[in-house]
Amino acid sequence: MTPELQDLFAFLRFPSISTDSRNAGDVRACAGWLIEKLTGMGLETSLRETERHPIVVAKNTPRPDRKTVLIYGHYDVQPVDPLNLWTTPPFEPEIRGGKVWARGSTDNKGQMLAHVLGVEKTLKEKGDLPVNLIFLFEGEEEIGSPNLAPFLRANLDLLKCDVIAVSDTGMVAPGVPTLGYGLRGISCCEVTLRGPARDLHSGLFGGAVANPATALSRLITSLHDEEGRILIDGFYDDVKPLEDWEREMWSKVPGVSDADFLKVTGSPGLHGEAGYTSAERTWARPTAEVNGIGGGYQGEGSKTVLPAEAFAKFSFRLVPNQDPGKIMEQVQAHFDKHCPPGVTLTCEVGHDGKPYHADPKSAFGLAAPRALKAAFHAEPVLIREGGSIPIVQAFREILGADTLLLGLALSDAQIHSPDENFPVENFEAGIRLNQALLEELAK
């Protein structure tokens, strides 16, 4: 095994699950490993405390005649449930079929460590970097980065930069280098419908009082029409329409046809807003999704009850010009308006993040494809990303810098799911990408 893969395996063994307080020590230990690694490379490194998990900052010695590049990543990972669906233990990395299998292998440890190792390789080969470098690694991305924006505001001088690079996104297909110039935003909430004071016998009381589970089903169906269009009043008012040049460009991007979506998802058929391809829907159109639902008896066999309450978790993906706060006000108004009689509704607002959109034809935007081509030896494609990285828009608003989204993940990486994986060849290409990127940005 190469020294680079040995480093990756060591990094992946930390169960740095940020959402679970039982793993707080593991998250901190993972940050400590990063500090030791970065310090050993000769960088000026510091561990910065937050209200929950620490932030890692590392810098080289700056020079006034050089561009300053900030590279962001996160060392926290998602929970591993359901554990029984993993082929091998999630924190015991293994190589099978040319891929590294472990939680965090793609999201985001493999991708961010490729940048670290690219810098290490350049320092060993040349003794210096062509830019002023800032590494900014957090341990709370998977819980919405609650402490990162305040950290940015409190450390403007420390983090002042010309451009930001992030590898926490995807490639459209194997071997096709991909630059993202946009991200969807997000707004989340959890709705609970309550009826009787306790679960009731469905024979004695069914038909006499409202069933919260049935009411919740009706509430959920009120969100869309038959063609997938969202029925929340005002939801589309601020949506930035797709440009003609984008639709034309995306029609030629490999790996994102409707057939590709069917293959990757394993779904029996596609569904979504009429008039758009699957790629256009996921990259540039807003959505309303149910992420979880529950209520009543969940065990084996029957228990004939009328549940006292039912709940659903929702996320709304947003596109440029939509504001998460405004959207959530519209969502809550919709739920209040469409709540069936006989139940009470409470809505707990969750985390959110603004959408992001940059100009791919800017000087830095043009430098990134050149670096991607050098790393992958293939022509890159330009896309917007369907996912959300809420902190990216905060980078622009607080630090005043745009972000280059340099994806190394594949669509079958199974991030947030059992058997997460990362191709070894993409990890190695990521190391080359970092070296080429810093050279191009320096120009």
Catalytic positions, written as ranges: 76, 141
Cβ-count burial 414-436 (b if 16+ within 10 Å, e if not) = bbeebbbbbbbebbbbbbbbbbb
Cα(269)–Cα(267) distance, rounded to whole angstroms? 5
What is the DSSP code (8-state) at residue 241? P
Cα(434)–Cα(123) distance, rounded to whole angstroms? 12
Query: Among candidates 73, 75, 58, 50, which has minimal Cα distance to 148?
Result: 50
Task: Find the largest Cα–Cα distance for the chain.
Answer: 80
**Which residues, including other chains, have CB under 8 Å from residue 264's CB and lie 6 or more apart?**
411, 412
Bridging pattern class, strands 163-166 and 403-407: parallel
What is the DSSP code (8-state) at residue 224? B
SS3 for 93? Answer: coil
SS3 for 226? Answer: coil
Cα(47)–Cα(25) distance, rounded to whole angstroms? 15
Residue given tokens 């998602």 in the structure block: 78
Angle of helix 24-40 relative to helix 3-12, nearest 10 degrees, comes to 160
CB atoms within 10 A of CB 29: 14
CB atoms within 10 A of CB 379: 10
List residues bridging with 405 in a β-sheet: 166, 180
Kind plus residue range of the DSSP H or E element containing 68: strand 68-74
Residue 201: both structure tokens together: 């016998």
Whole-number Cα distances in Å, 208 to 97, 195, 201: 59, 12, 11
